Amino acid sequence: MDINFNKNEDHNKLLLSDLNRKLGKVHLGGGKKRIEKHHAKGKLTARERIDYLLDDAEKSIEIAAFAGEGMYEEHGGCPSGGVVVKIGYVQGRQVIVVANDATVKAGAWFPITGKKNLRAQEIAMENKLPIIYLVDSAGVYLPMQDEIFPDKEHFGRIFRNNAVMSSMGITQIAAVMGSCVAGGAYLPIMSDEALIVDKTGSIFLAGSYLVKAAIGESIDNETLGGATTHCEISGVTDYKAKDDKDALDKIKNIMDKIGAVESAGFHKKESKSPAEDPEELFGVLPRKRSDQYDMMEIINRLIDADSFEEYKAGFGQTIITGYARIDGWAVGIVANQRKIVKTKKGEMQFGGVIYSDSADKATRFIANCNQKKIPLVFLQDVTGFMVGSKSEHGGIIKDGAKMVNAVSNSVVPKFTVVIGNSYGAGNYAMCGKAYDPRLIVAWPTAELAVMSGNSAAKVLMQIEKASLEKDGKKLSEEEEQELFAKTKDRYDQQVSPYYAASRIWTDAIIDPRDTRKWISMGIEAADQAPIEKPFNMGVLQT
């Protein structure tokens, strides 16, 4: 190992340490004092409930842990969006679990809470995964009701999805383990089966105070909508549990009886470890986002040993395409090559840039994977498409459009890993969030934006200077530097992987060594949803 490898390793492991520190804080939800108050009521926290329910908490992946990070500070914050979402196994069956975190504003729904719940339902619908709701929520966060209540992607969409999933035959089980009020009361009752915990769970459209104000009736919440009421009088719920663990045990028993699933037919063999040590990922990946490196060094530490078959190796070399296996699953890999390459014509091509020949190659490869029913894995470290007169005259827009078309119309499941840069149209062509990857994750080294902070600051500064010069003003060299630094600092905050994760532009920021686990569990989920339509790219300019 050389000194550069060691410096890269130190830098990237510091980023990982920062990730783990931030995750530790997020996992505390509303904080230790609120967790203690929660326990004093005889209740488990959202994370404790999920860990108890799953066969093995270690064999799970968490969706959108950083949802809401740095948002809503004026409202006291909303760690993890006030809801915990994990994909794991219950009685050997892969499921997605959604648990309200009542230590965060009593589990109230912020705008990002709605987005995160909808993402969980989207994953369930795409993969036909059973979904389990652990309900403990005060309902919509009223100070922000205008941002969560009425729109298509707001609170009401949850119940629409309940109905659609039921028609699709997707198992939905809900356990009411705390408050379940107003519109939120429909979620468990629109599920296939509903449980309620005695004395701590309650369901009603309006609580006792509102009932008194509305119709003058005096009644306590337990009599109004507690477990005894709904299990023995209204018949709204199906099972009565004595405490949280009893409710979770009942869910396990229900899951144990569910029938087998169909298979999409994705191919799996016995898993092999990568030929190169995944621990070395930290040293291979440069500490500077502008530095060049060989993406094959990353690929060889992610895929099963001796499984890679490169497609069109000598053509369009700024994108690597090839067939491989990850944890035994057959995959097609589309990856940005980050080293400068030399073409047969003797021309130099910049790493991380998509050229016409690379786009053409990727398009053909994506079509092949769809033809063969092979899931696609995109490894992003891209600065965008090549610009300039030569590229424009050569039809870069047309070739880029063909690649975007292939990604958009792909019917096999797609998985995206943002390793480094994810800039501009490169994000789109390499299956960014807008192109429906089943899962999209980022490494701590990722940056997502229209362009890098440095480039954006230069562009914005030139615009500002031109505007001032029109008014007869001129910036001094010192003022220029100050404006540049201020603009770059603001933009750098927005390209951070945490900024993207807080808004659920990605599903998670992960330890690079967990990449194989995420892709393997993602394909296993996708294999439960047979492909229902043929691959068709529609009208395409050739």
Question: Residues 170-224: pLDDT tens digits?
Answer: 999 999 999 888 767 788 889 999 999 999 999 988 778 888 888 998 888 888 8
Distances in whole angstroms, Cα of residue 276 to Cα of each of 272, 279, 294, 306, 444 = 11, 9, 14, 11, 21
Rounded to whole angstroms, the Cα distance separating 323 from 304 reads 11
88-108 burial, b at 16+ Cβ within 10 Å, e below that, comes to bbbeebbbbbbbbbbbbbbbb
Residue type, 22: K
Q: What is the phi/psi pair of residue 509, to 5°? A: -105, 125
The number of helices, as runs of H, and strands, as runs of E, in the chain is: 20, 20
What integer pLDDT is reported at residue 542 of this predicted model?
A: 57
Inter-residue contact 87 to 525 (CB < 8 Å): yes
Which tokens sit at 399? 């070739």
Residue with tokens 């530097």: 481
What integer pLDDT is reported at residue 190 of this predicted model?
A: 92
Residue type, 371: Q
What integer pLDDT is reported at residue 193 of this predicted model?
A: 96
Residue 192, SS3 per DSSP: coil
Residue type, 53: L
Please report which helix (H) or strand (E) contains residue 54, including its range: none
Rounded to whole angstroms, the Cα distance separating 451 from 506 reads 18
516-525 burial, b at 16+ Cβ within 10 Å, e below that, comes to bbbbbbbbbb
Q: What is the DSSP letter of 313?
A: T
Which tokens sit at 221? 């919440």
What integer pLDDT is reported at residue 141 of this predicted model?
A: 84
Residues 323-375: pLDDT tens digits?
999 999 999 999 999 999 888 787 889 889 999 999 999 999 999 999 999 99
Rounded to whole angstroms, the Cα distance separating 493 from 371 reads 41
Tens digits of pLDDT across the chain (542 residues) = 589 999 999 999 999 999 999 999 999 999 999 999 999 999 999 999 999 999 999 999 999 999 999 999 999 999 999 999 999 999 999 999 999 999 999 998 999 999 999 999 999 999 999 999 999 998 888 889 888 888 888 888 999 999 999 999 999 999 999 988 876 778 888 999 999 999 999 998 877 888 888 899 888 888 888 999 999 999 999 999 999 999 999 999 999 999 988 999 999 999 999 999 999 999 999 999 889 999 999 999 999 999 999 999 999 999 999 999 999 999 999 999 999 988 878 788 988 999 999 999 999 999 999 999 999 999 999 999 988 888 888 889 999 999 999 999 999 999 999 999 999 999 999 999 999 999 999 999 999 988 777 777 777 778 877 887 787 877 788 877 887 888 788 878 889 999 999 999 999 999 999 999 999 999 999 999 999 999 998 876 55
Please report which helix (H) or strand (E) contains residue 177, including its range: strand 172-181
Q: Is 71 exposed, middle or buried (CB count within 10 Å of its CB: 0-12, 13-18, 19+)?
A: middle
Rounded to whole angstroms, the Cα distance separating 38 from 253 reads 26
What integer pLDDT is reported at residue 481 of this predicted model?
A: 83
425-442 burial, b at 16+ Cβ within 10 Å, e below that, comes to bbbbbbbbbebbbbbbbb
DSSP, residue by residue, 118-144: HHHHHHHHHHT--EEEEEEE--B-GGG
Rounded to whole angstroms, the Cα distance separating 375 from 270 reads 17
Please report which helix (H) or strand (E) contains residue 418, including its range: strand 414-423
